[in-house]
Structure 1
Amino acid sequence: MFNPSRDQVRTFFIESWRKYRAKEVLTPLEHIASDLILLHPEYQTLLEDPDSVTRDFSPDEGQINPFLHLSLHLAIEEQLSIDQPPGLRAAFEACQNRHGNRHDALHDVLECLGETMFDAQRNRAQPDGAAYVSRVLRRAR
Structure 2
Amino acid sequence: MDDLDQRLIAKLRHDARAPVADLAKALGVSRGTITNRMARLQRDGVITGYTLRLRPDATPDEIRAWTSLAVEGNQQRVIRALLGEPGVAALHDTNGRWDLLVELRVGSLAELSSALERIRGIEGVSASETSVHLRTLRG
Give TM class, smaller chain.
under 0.3
Task: Report the TM-score, using the length of structure 2 for normalisation.
Answer: 0.27
Q: Work out which structure has the larger RCO, using CA pairs closer than 8 Å and 6 or more positions apart in sequence.
A: 2
Task: Report the TM-score, using the length of structure 1 for normalisation.
Answer: 0.27
